[in-house]
Amino acid sequence: MNAPVAVPFLDLGALYRADAPDYDAAYRRVMDHGWWIQGPELQAFEAEFAQACGVAHAVGVGNGLDALALALRAAGIGPGHEVLVPAHTFIATWLAVAQVGAVPRAVEPAPGGFNITAAGVARALGPHTRAVLPVHLYGQVADGPALADLCRAHGLLLLEDAAQAHGAQQDRRPAGSFGTAAAFSFYPGKNLGAFGDGGAVVTDDDALAERVRKLRNYGGLQRYQHEELGGNSRLDELQAAFLRVRLARLAAHNAARQAVATQYQQRLDGLPGLTLPDVPPGHQPAWHLYVVRCAHRDALQAHLARQGVQTLVHYPRPVYRFAPFAAHGPAHRTLADALCDEILSLPMSPLLTPDQVDRVCDAVTDFFTP
Ligand SMILES: *Cc1c(COP(=O)(O)O)cnc(C)c1O
């Protein structure tokens, strides 16, 4: 039997309650204004988010998956093209590539790390490779400057999947500013989360931004002007208004996540059998997740559950082990397979208290101490 939850993995209701007056005021503003789609809140949020990402344009869309697929389509990626993607990621990264009719090709994580690197991508390049789609997994930028150099040298599109990396930096440059474009998700559990679905494409490329603006809105910028085979994927006014509140808190929330990560590092470092996440020089992760590795992961997870500590596994298998992409998986056991058997995400939220983090650390320490 598991104990009652003492430390939730992430309490989304508490994130609302912590700033309820501001969210409620945003709701009031939209309701009083009476404009629900493509209005002033979206425009303001797009400007504020573009600035936060250090780029010229942000285009709000319906969700993170659409942000990826629309960015790929706007950049001309489609049938006959191959896109390099991490083996170890959320399935959306691969689904976006499949949706535009291109072929996803797996790049294994760097040994000892979670992300793909420019060296791994260089080895995987093939004659049909047209784009590289790295994921800033768990909130750590995946080799941004080196991947940008590599893609420039080979004439490839670099599209960042920054769905987990709002506010992350490498060499003081924000996630979303390394590639030609980047896709963000505002799914509620992300560092910058809405109260529903949402996403954005960010880019410095004027033409690409305009094309995404058309594709998200029936192929045109204005009503009954249909210039492209577009669709409907918009970020509504309510979510944009909520996201403006949340964006104003992002730096403080990420600093609070950093404090949690620091406490984990200080308390758990050196436990034999436990590997903590590595932060290479120059990186400032957004700490979307705090992921440890342990050869006895399932036993550790069960032990923590009995102590009332909620944990999750992101993700249980590499994408090529799921049915839709099974044809892309090597027959042999891969680095990503091994990683997926060992990873465990500890509770992570800007609202965790030092006492709660101590409670997690006590429970983890207890597992490794006979
Ligand atoms: C959440 C996520 C997505 C998809 O975002 P949705 O808004 O849920 O569509 C894509 N890629 C990664 C890495 C994610 O974590």
Average pLDDT along the chain, 370 residues, taken 10 residues at a time = 85 96 98 96 98 98 98 98 98 98 98 96 97 98 98 98 98 98 98 98 98 97 92 98 98 98 98 96 98 98 98 98 96 97 98 98 94
Closest atom of ligand 1 to 67 CA is 9
Q: Is 216 exposed, middle or buried (0-12, 13-18, 19+ CB in 10 A)?
A: buried
Is 93 touching ligand 1 by the criterion CB < 6 Å? yes
Closest atom of ligand 1 to 164 CA is 15
Closest atom of ligand 1 to 185 CA is 7
Closest atom of ligand 1 to 137 CA is 13
Q: How far is the CA of 1 from the centre of ligand 1 (A)?
A: 33
**Calpha distance 132→137 (Å, rounded):** 15
The pTM for the full model equals: 0.98
Q: Name which residue sits closest to atom 6 of ligand 1, judged by CA.
A: 64
Number of helices and strands in the chain (H, E): 12, 13
pLDDT of residue 5: 87
The two tokens of residue 195 are 């109260």
pLDDT of residue 1: 61
Residues in the chain: 370
DSSP string, 27-94: HHHHHHHT--BSSHHHHHHHHHHHHHHTSSEEEEES-HHHHHHHHHHHTT--TT-EEEEESSS-THHH
pLDDT of residue 248: 98
Ligand 1 pocket, mutate which of 140, 141, 164 (most atoms under 8 A from CB): 164
Is 161 touching ligand 1 by the criterion CB < 6 Å? yes
Q: How far is the CA of 65 from the centre of ligand 1 (A)?
A: 6
